[in-house]
């Protein structure tokens, strides 16, 4: 094995213990000549205290001292695991062979005659320090091997971040152990990346499934809104009925999934709930129920596509997500598709509905997009978001009751149960289900990904419009719908969890040296 | 005891100077330290002789033996070695006399050492 350049040939911390001031001074001058750092002390007791607080590479020790003599200090140090490895050279006259033998028996590495010369001092010091260096290196290697063994035990744990293996410093060694640590590290990065990739795929798949269900539920709203708006109830009255029922359904869902409803909120959370209620719920529901009677179910469904575009723009402007060229292109394509569909209709002033109501309907997806970005940012856990959603719906119900009373036409549907009641029930159930699943989506995959529900909402809206309302979808509109969906696809993104870790590469100069 | 050798072995002093990097300033520092250490060790020996403490005498004689040897003050070193050995076997007979002799030799040795140092300084 090739040794590392010796750090101690540059510097060693040497402690000189001798009760004679003149001898201490002589030795200190000589040791400094060789290039080491020196600390001197004249007493065995004091030396022991100093060794406990300061690190030394070697001790030069006189034997005959008052209080604690050299033998006693030697015995102390060699019996303590913390200091056993510090090499000790005893200073003795060459004639005192008994003293030298006793010191060696007690664990001294070597002896130095008191009338030493510079060459002899240097030879003895370097020999001892070199042994210490090898000893330290072996000890360090054993400790690192122990850490590698522990890391190997955790190697197959899927979710373990390789950074937590604590072997990165070992992998920087330029020898076989360093190479082994590199292999371990790369292997753990492989395992980790595979696990994260699978997790991402599962989340994306779950996300796509949730998108479909959310789309089917939300897609029902424009269609049912259209049906409900034909009744004799005002928009605010309808909103009271649907939002109160939605609140009940959400409350049940909250108890089933959380088993409790948090009653205390900070003033900051209350403020967020109020904004969410007004911007993200009251405005879109009121608008939806108001415009539904004036534009077709297909038109409303198509307008809902703007939610994805608006979410991407808002997220980009607020710094939540970046607007890449791909997303920007997607926004333009989706808008072009909308214009393609609506332009001929507007010229003919025909089937989709009045331009004023179409313009007003645009604020519905816009409000939903603002809400999605807000919820994704404010509420990081599903349970806290669901909890807040219950309060949002409760607040929304009260606001609609107030609006309805203000408008002076609030009525309770006491007529015999019929299609109107079923529509209200279905609208509320679809709403509650969609909110529940959407919160799951927003808190797990992010608001931008969740906003891609827009195209499933559009597709299901078109489906429900044809199936429930019996509206006709012209063949000429189909390419435009495809363009819109393609545009929204470009705007959207995969649910992203953790960036994959880069594998470490063994440098060419890092040859394994045995 | 009579010695025919010179009071201070100049070669030993030169070796000491080499050991400390041929720096006369450092040698001065060492001599000054020995001027404090020497009388202290002699004092301790005398105290030990009074109280018949062989260990104290032995330890002081041991230190004086090696420090005086470093400076080349041979008579003091040799006398101290004899005294150390006597004390090691706890033979305190004629110790007082030996200590007085070491003291006298120490003074002579120091005087000679100063002369040699002055010569080294002039070279």
- How do residues A216-252 score in pLDDT, each as one tens digit? 888 887 788 878 877 888 888 888 899 999 999 988 8
Among all chains, which residue has been given the structure tokens 């091997």?
A: A145
Comparing alpha-carbon positions, the chain A residue that sits nearest to B25 is A29
Summarised one tens digit per residue, pLDDT across range A67-92 is 888 999 999 999 998 899 899 999 98
Reduced to 3 states (helix: H, G, I; strand: E, B; else coil), residue A91 is: strand
B34 touches chain A (CB under 8 A): yes
Percent pLDDT > 70 in chain A is 84
Q: Which residue has the higher pLDDT, A48 or A318?
A: A48
Q: Name which CATH class applies to A13-135.
A: alpha beta
- In this prediction, residue B30 carries a pLDDT of 96
Which among A373, A394, A379 is positioned nearest to A263, based on CA atoms? A394
User: What pLDDT sits at residue A62?
Assistant: 92
Using the Cβ of B66 and the Cβ atoms of chain A, whether some distance falls under 8 Å is answered with yes
Nearest to A400, CA basis, from A318, A264, A282, A280:
A282
- Angstrom distances, CA of residue A46 to CA of A52, A53, B62: 10, 11, 22
pTM assigned to the model: 0.52
A457 touches A219 (CB < 8 A): yes
- The pLDDT of residue A330 is 76
- Whether residue B67 and residue A22 make contact (CB cut-off 8 A), yes or no, is yes
Residues in A closer than 8 angstroms to B16, CB to CB, are: 26
ipTM of this complex: 0.92
Q: Is B29–A25 a contact, with Cβ atoms under 8 angstroms apart?
A: yes
pLDDT 10s digits, A191-204: 787 887 787 777 77
The reported pLDDT for the residue numbered A1 is: 35
Identify the CA nearest to A289 among candidates A233, A248, A339, A328: A233
Chain A partners within 8 Å of B26 (Cβ): 29
Q: Higher pLDDT residue, A52 or A185?
A: A52
Domain definitions of chain A by residue range: 13-135, 138-191, 199-491
Position A38 confidence tier, pLDDT thresholds 50, 70, 90: very high
Say whether B33 and A21 touch across the interface (CB within 8 A).
Answer: yes
Q: Which of A130-139, A410-419, A504-513 has the lowest mean pLDDT?
A: A504-513
| pLDDT value of residue A3 | 34
pLDDT given for residue B28 in this prediction: 95
- Return the residue of B nearest to A113 by Cα: B66
Cβ distance B30 to A114 less than 8 Å, yes or no, reads: no
Q: Which helix (H) or strand (E) holds A58?
A: strand A58-62
Is some CB atom of chain A closer than 8 A to the CB atom of B121? no
Vertex A381 angle, CA A377 and A383, to 5°: 125
What's residue A7's pLDDT? 45
Specify the pLDDT at position A246: 92
Query: Among A25, A33, A116, whose Cβ lies nearest the Cβ of B21?
Result: A33
Of the candidates A22, A65, A93, the beta carbon closest to that of B33 is on A22
Residue A4: which pLDDT band, with cuts at 50, 70 and 90? Answer: very low
* Tens of pLDDT, residues B82-117: 999 999 898 888 899 999 999 999 999 999 999 999
Q: Output the pLDDT for position A448.
A: 62
The pLDDT tens digits of the residues spanning A143-164 come to: 888 888 887 777 666 556 777 7
Specify the pLDDT at position A447: 64
What is each CA distance from A159 to A171, A181, A199, A446, A498, in whole angstroms? 21, 19, 10, 21, 11
- Residue position matching structure tokens 């094995």: A1
Percent of chain A predicted with pLDDT > 90: 19
For A23, nearest residue in chain B (alpha carbons)? B67
- When pLDDT is cut at 50, 70 and 90, the band that residue A514 belongs to is very low
pLDDT of residue A445: 67
pLDDT digits (tens, 9 = 90+) for A332-365: 787 787 777 666 655 555 555 567 787 888 888 8
């Amino acid at each position: 094995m090739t040794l590392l350049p010796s750090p101690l040939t540059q510097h060693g911390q040497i402690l000189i213990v001798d009760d004679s001031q003149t001898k201490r001074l002589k030795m200190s001058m000589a040791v400094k000549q060789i290039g080491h750092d020196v600390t001197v002390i004249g007493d065995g007791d004091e030396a022991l205290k100093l060794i406990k607080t300061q690190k030394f590479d070697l001790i030069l020790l006189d034997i005959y001292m008052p209080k604690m003599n050299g033998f006693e200090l030697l015995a102390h140090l060699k019996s303590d695991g913390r200091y056993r490895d510090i090499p000790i050279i005893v200073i003795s006259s060459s004639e005192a062979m008994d003293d030298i033998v006793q010191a060696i028996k007690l664990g001294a590495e070597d002896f130095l005659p008191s009338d030493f010369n510079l060459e002899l001092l240097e030879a003895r010091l370097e020999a001892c320090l070199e042994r210490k260096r090898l000893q330290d290196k072996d000890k360090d290697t054993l400790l690192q091997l122990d850490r590698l063994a522990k890391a190997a035990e955790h190697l197959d744990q899927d979710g373990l971040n390789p950074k937590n293996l604590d072997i990165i410093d070992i992998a920087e060694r330029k020898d076989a152990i360093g190479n082994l640590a590199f292999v371990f590290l790369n292997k753990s990065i492989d395992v980790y990346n595979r696990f994260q990739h699978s997790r991402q795929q599962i989340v994306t798949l779950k996300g796509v499934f949730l998108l479909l269900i959310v789309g089917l539920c939300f897609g029902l709203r424009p269609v049912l809104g259209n049906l409900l708006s034909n009744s004799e109830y005002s928009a605010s009255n309808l909103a009271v009925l649907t939002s109160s029922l939605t609140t009940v359904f959400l409350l049940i869902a909250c108890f089933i999934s959380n088993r409790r409803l948090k009653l205390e909120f900070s003033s900051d959370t209350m403020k967020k709930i109020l904004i969410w209620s007004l911007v993200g719920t009251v405005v879109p529901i009121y608008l939806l129920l108001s415009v539904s009677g004036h534009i077709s179910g297909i038109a409303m469904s198509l307008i809902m596509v703007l939610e994805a575009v608006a979410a991407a723009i808002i997220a980009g402007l607020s710094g939540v997500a970046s607007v890449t060229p791909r997303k920007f292109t997607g926004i333009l394509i989706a808008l072009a598709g909308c214009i393609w569909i609506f332009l001929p209709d507007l010229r003919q002033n025909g089937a989709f509905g009045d331009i004023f109501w179409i313009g007003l309907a645009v604020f519905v997806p816009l409000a939903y997009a603002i809400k999605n970005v807000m919820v994704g940012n404010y509420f990081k856990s599903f349970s806290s978001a669901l909890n807040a959603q219950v309060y949002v719906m409760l607040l929304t119900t009260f606001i609609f009751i107030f609006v309805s009373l203000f408008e002076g036409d609030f009525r309770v549907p006491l007529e015999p149960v019929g299609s109107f009641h079923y529509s209200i029930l279905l609208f509320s159930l679809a709403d509650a289900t969609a909110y529940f699943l959407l919160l799951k989506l927003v808190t797990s995959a992010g608001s931008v990904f969740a906003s891609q529900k827009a195209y499933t909402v559009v597709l299901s809206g078109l489906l429900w419009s044809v199936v429930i309302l019996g509206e006709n979808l012209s063949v000429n509109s189909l390419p435009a719908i495809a363009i819109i969906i393609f545009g929204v696809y470009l705007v959207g993104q995969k649910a992203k969890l953790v960036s994959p870790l880069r594998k470490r590469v063994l440098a060419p100069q890092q040859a394994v040296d045995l | 005891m009579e010695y025919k050798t010179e009071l201070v072995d100049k070669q030993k002093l030169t070796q000491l100077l080499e050991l400390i990097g041929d720096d006369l300033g450092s040698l001065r520092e060492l001599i000054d330290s020995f001027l404090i250490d020497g009388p202290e060790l002699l004092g301790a020996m005398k105290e030990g002789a009074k109280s018949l403490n062989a260990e104290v005498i032995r330890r002081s004689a041991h230190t004086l033996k090696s420090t005086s040897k470093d400076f080349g003050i041979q008579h003091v070193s040799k006398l101290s070695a004899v005294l150390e050995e006597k004390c090691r076997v706890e033979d305190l007979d004629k110790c007082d006399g030996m200590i007085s002799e070491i003291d006298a030799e120490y003074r002579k040795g120091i005087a000679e050492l100063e002369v040699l140092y002055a010569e080294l300084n002039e070279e």
